[in-house]
Structure 1
Amino acid sequence: MKANVLYGLGDLRIADIDRPIPDAGEVLLRIGACGVCGSDIPRVFTKGTYRFPTVPGHEFAGRIVELGTGVDPALLNRKAAVFPLLPCRSCPYCEIGEFALCDNYDYMGSRRDGAFAEYIAAPVWNLVLAPDSLSFEELAMTEPAAVAVHALRQAGLDIGDSVLISGAGPIGLMLAYWSRAWGASRVMLADVDETKLAFANALGFADTFNPLQGSVADWAAGLTGGAGADVAIEGAGISASWENCLRAVRKLGRVVLMGNPAGGMALSQDGYWEMLRKQLTVRGTWNSAYAASPRSEWQLVVDSMASGRLDLKPLISHRCSLDEAFEALRMMRDRKQFFNKVMVLPSGNKV
């Protein structure tokens, strides 16, 4: 099969490699779409994967085309999104169903081969089956959409809450979609990139602000009657964004740290005082909850898309083939043009 193989830092090449054979309890999927995550950029160009060579890509969906032994024949030809984390199932966190916190996990696209390829083998346990009415591109956004809803759950979002999201990238916009669907009274997006804010406006999110133009805290206070946001979610992974969130929430507000920092994070004395004096609740969030329904945020995403409550298709800005994927990643790294969610379509999205 064809695959984009990472042989070293910045050395991503199309290659012909062996098509995987599903083991017992596994299926083979022909990949319909694989989203490019922001973490794929440093993984390909600066940080690397856990071994070379590796096929990157962990936000993906496909059609089941082959079954390993012991797999229900009814799964053949079904569409599915795939949870890319393979937990050890024996550590204390796996025992309580917190698989994203597993002490000894494996991971498709970084620790083992991922989905910048035509096919991938995956355990049945990792499949989230989906109706044919959903496109592969939609299903490939299940992973980041589950990350977004997990962050909102960490925040304890309630109907009528006002929400500030610092960072208007793909997951920030998914947070905005979820917040609106969850019953937030106001959804506010802050970002220093005017093209991202314009894109958010085009999606129907009118309350946007550029922190380079003034105080995020004053802006949020003006939109919330002076109190500040009930919830702030930090999605940029930089110190200034963290401080803005702490200052923009009301007393007894909640702040969730979600952004993946590229470097060190620092907190000023004034930012620390914000936490103390306003008695803020500050929580981290990591990955998503994947378990038997109804706890599975993955199933929640698929069900919400299938019912029409969650429409993520407008977030896709670019589509490319396997042959074009490396150039698309370089475009994202160099920010040569505006992008939001970039999709790699190994099979032309027709499988």
Structure 2
Amino acid sequence: MKAQVLYGIDNMKYVEVNDPRPKAGEALIKVRKCGICGSDVPRVFKTGAHNMPIVPGHEFMGIVEKCDDNPEIVGKRVGVFPLIPCMKCRQCKSRHYEMCENYNYLGSRCDGGFGEYVCAPLWNLLPIPDEVTDDEAAMLEPMCVAVHALRKLGLVGDGFEAETEKNIVICGLGTIGLLVAMLLKDAGYRNVFFIGNKNVQKEMIKQVGYSEDHFCDVRYGAPSSFVNEKTDGNGADYYLECIGRSESYAQAVNLTSPLGKVMLVGNPASDMELPRNVYWKILRNQMTLMGTWNSSYPDDWNYALERLATWHKSEQAFSPTMLITHRFDLEHMQEGLQIMRKKSEEYIKIMVDVG
């Protein structure tokens, strides 16, 4: 098969490799779509993967090509939860699989979706209903990262009634931040405000259904003034930091109300530093700081699938596929990686059409 193989840092090649062979409990999947994640950029160009050579890519879907253990799923479309838990550690036994102490991971520790075929455990496969498109199925992984953060905050969930007047701020409008915006709009929240720095982000916010005056472009205005104006000086009840930089971390604390909650979503770009005055504000305002990583499987994934199916049946005008700004085939996908690395064009989600 053809695949993009990472042999070392900044050494990725489109080559012919042996077809993978599924072991007991696994299925062979013919990959159809695979998104490029922001984490793929440092993995390819800066840090490398945990194991190399490796086929990266963890945001993917495909069709089951072979499965001796369950022939009934052959020919079926599936989404893939990329984290492979050990099922033995304390976290796994508590069903917190995303916090497994000895996990494997498709695309960073073992071969992933930037190839024509991939093997994955049956446990990690989620059947895709007919109304959900291939692109949407490939975006389930980032969508579920957004779902997980919001469910941990208690802002969405099955049978949950939203307190729609709460002030919510999202800082950082990449794929995850915009998916958070979409899910909050779906849940009925009105006072949601956004901090970004790209024209394409503002346009996406408008497409999701929020007015332009809910968007603060940091190139032209100060987030502190913006949030204070929109919340009558009260600050955010909930603040989702989706960047991962010290300055945005401090800003999150400063713009959150007493007894408010800050959800740290963005992967850190470097060491994080916390100024003393910011630390004092956390203490004196009795704030809650929370971290989130990955998603809870299968709960978050089932919730995301249910919302996608509902959106198709309703008059909702949005879908995760709105966020796809670029497409490449498997052979030329490194052009997409370079766009993300160099920020040479405005982008949100770059999708690879594999097969």
Equivalent position amino acid for 1:346 in 2: V
The aligned runs of 1:28-67 (5 Å cut-off) are 28-67=28-67
Deviation by residue 1:212-266 (Cα, 9 ceiling, x = unmatched):
5444233122212332221000000011211221122221111011110111111
Q: Tell me what 1:227 maps to.
A: 234
Which of structure 1's runs of 4+ aligned residues deviate more than 4 A? none
Superposition deviation, residue 200 in structure 1: 2.8
**1:298 corresponds to 2:335:** no
Q: Amino acid of the residue matched to residue 270 of structure 1?
A: N
Q: Hey, what does 1:280 align to over in structure 2?
A: 287
d(CA) in 2 for partners of 1:192, 1:311: 22
Report the 3-state secondary structure (helix = DSSP H, G, I; strand = E; otherwise coil) of the residue aligned with 2:144: helix
CA distance in structure 1 between the aligned counterparts of 2:53 and 2:351, rounded to whole angstroms: 22
* Aligned with residue 208 of structure 1, among 210, 215, 218: 215
User: Is the CA contact 2:9–2:47 (under 8 Å) kept in the aligned structure 1?
Assistant: yes
Number of the residue aligned with 1:239 = 246
**Residue type at the aligned position of 2:323:** L
Q: Distance in 1 between matches of 2:282 and 2:154?
A: 18
Measured against aligned partners, the alpha-carbon deviations of 1:38-60 in whole angstroms (never above 9, x if no partner) come to 00000000010112210000000
- Measure, in 1, the Cα distance between the counterparts of 2:304 and 2:56: 23
Please give the alpha-carbon distance, in whole angstroms, between the structure 1 residues aligned to 2:346 and 2:322.
14
Looking at structure 1, the residues matched to 345 and 76 of structure 2 have their Cα atoms a distance apart, in angstroms, of 36
User: Which residue is 1:113 aligned to?
Assistant: 111
Q: What is the correspondence of 1:119-268 to structure 2 with a 5 Å cutoff?
A: 119-157=117-155, 158-160=162-164, 161-206=166-211, 207-268=214-275
1:159 maps to a residue whose letter is: E
What is the letter of the counterpart of residue 272 of structure 1?
A: Y
CA distance in 2, matches of 1:218, 1:276: 23
**Structure 1 residues without counterparts, runs of 5 or longer:** none
Q: Is the 8 A contact 1:189 1:209 kept in 2?
A: yes
Q: Which runs of 5+ in 2 are unaligned?
A: 156-161
In structure 2, what is the Cα distance between the partners aligned to 1:62 and 1:183?
32
Cα distance in 2, alignment partners of residues 185 and 249 from structure 1 = 17
Q: Separation in 1 of the partners of 2:130 and 2:26?
A: 21
Q: Distance in 1 between matches of 2:222 and 2:184?
A: 23
Deviations 1:109-161 (A, max 9, x none): 01000000111111110011111222211101100110001111222224222
**8 Å Cα contact 2:181-2:208 kept in structure 1:** no
Shift of 1:202: 4.2
Check whether the contact 1:170–1:340 (CA below 8 A) recurs between aligned residues: yes
Q: Which moved more, 1:296-305 or 1:222-231?
A: 222-231
Tell me how far apart the structure 2 counterparts of residues 271 and 215 of structure 1 sit (CA, whole Å). Answer: 18
Q: Quick check: 1:163–1:179 contact (8 Å CA) kept in 2?
A: no
Residue 289 of structure 1 aligns to a residue whose secondary structure is coil
- The residue that corresponds to 2:158 in the other structure is none
- Note the C-alpha offset of 1:10: 1.1
Show CA shifts across 1:150-203 (max 9, x none): 111222224222210110111000010111122323111102334433443344
C-alpha distance in structure 2 between counterparts of 1:13 and 1:196, whole Å: 32
For residue 268 of structure 1, what is the amino acid of its counterpart? Answer: P
Matches within 5 A, 1:309-348: 311-347=319-355
Letter in 2 for 1:319: R
Provide the alpha-carbon RMSD of the alignment: 1.5
Q: Does the CA-based 8 Å contact 1:27-1:67 persist in structure 2?
A: yes
Amino acid at match of 1:82: V
Is the alpha carbon distance of 1:284 and 1:278 closer, same or farther for their aligned partners in structure 2, counting shifts above 3 Å? same
Say if 1:159 and 1:182, in contact at 8 Å, map to a contact too: no
Identity across the alignment (%): 38
Letter in 2 for 1:321: D
Q: How many residues align?
A: 341
2:343 is aligned with what amino acid? R
* Partner of residue 289, structure 1: 296
Tell me, in whole angstroms, the C-alpha distance in 1 between the residues paired with 2:176 and 2:227: 20
2:81 match:
83
Q: State the partner residue of 1:94.
A: 92
Check whether the contact 1:217–1:249 (CA below 8 A) recurs between aligned residues. Answer: no
Which whole-Å CA distance do the structure 2 matches of 1:197 and 1:238 have between them?
21
Q: Residue 175 of structure 1: SS of its match in structure 2?
A: helix
* 2:159 matched residue in structure 1: none
